[in-house]
Amino acid sequence: MLKVQNVDVAYGVIQVIHGVDFWVDEGECVALLGSNGAGKTSILKAISGVVPLKGGHIQFQGNVFDGQPSSERYENGIVQVAEGGKIFPHMTVRENLLMGASCRDKAWKKRQVTLNWIYEIFPRLNERLNQESRFLSGGERQLLVVARGLMALPKLLMIDEPSLGLSPKILLEIYATLAMLRDEGVTILLSEQNVAQALKLASRGYVLENGRIVLDGLSENLLENDFVKRAYLGL
Ligand code: ATP
């Protein structure tokens, strides 16, 4: 479904992503792993078109998306959930959700059906629909941004660091929800520093260091890999 081929990204003269190659098949959950500054967010932004490619190609469902604006990629079902639970604080939970559907024609037409689905999967949000979202906890905000991404009926949902700043208990709740989405067949590209948690969810992973993929493989193999154990799992 998604092919990232030999991609380079630069901010001004500083290149931060170097020849990155990976793919995501339909219905898969794949993790981009790495510590702060490894380049995970820059890759997601290059796929969603928020930052331009310096080199390489992005193919999605057979179409080349190298230079298309992010709006066109969104319309084609590439949806990025930004890190840090960024919401519209003075809008209600329901209004935030509707914003997710508002920029994609297909999603807007089906918004009521999607909302009903979201209410089932995210009961915590369902209880707070008419409340201004600034009153949500950090974990609830994170749920809201994922739910808002789903309102666009994504073909590919890219989630940037869902565990950022969350307590272990809330983190488990978020990951349980993501597992539910994975099991429903939503295609997910996840960026995470929390390697142990991400590899429990994803079927495959790519480890990034200094903008380069240094290791990739099936999650069960990465969890047993000595380098991963030492560098990322504290074992
Ligand atoms: P984090 O987990 O901290 O978000 P990351 O793996 O997502 O890290 P990126 O945010 O992609 O990494 O950053 C990769 C490199 O690009 C870092 O060195 C960062 O300082 C740099 N960088 C990111 N955004 C910009 C920007 N807008 N301008 C200049 N440099 C940037």
By C-alpha distance, which of 65, 129, 75, 82 is closest to 102?
Answer: 75
| Amino acid (1-letter code) at residue 220 | E
pLDDT in tens, the chain (235 residues): 999 999 999 999 999 999 999 999 999 999 999 999 999 999 999 999 999 999 999 999 999 998 889 999 999 999 999 887 789 999 999 999 999 999 888 899 999 999 999 999 888 899 999 999 999 988 889 889 999 999 999 999 999 998 887 888 888 888 998 998 899 899 999 999 999 999 999 999 999 999 999 999 999 999 999 999 999 998 7
Residue found under tokens 């500083």: 14
**Residue 12 zone, left/alpha/beta (φ > 0; ψ -120 to 50; rest):** left
CA of 44, closest atom in ligand 1? 11
CA of 43, closest atom in ligand 1? 11
Confidence (pTM): 0.93
To test the ligand 1 pocket, which listed residue (16, 44, 209) has its Cβ within 8 A of the most ligand atoms? 16
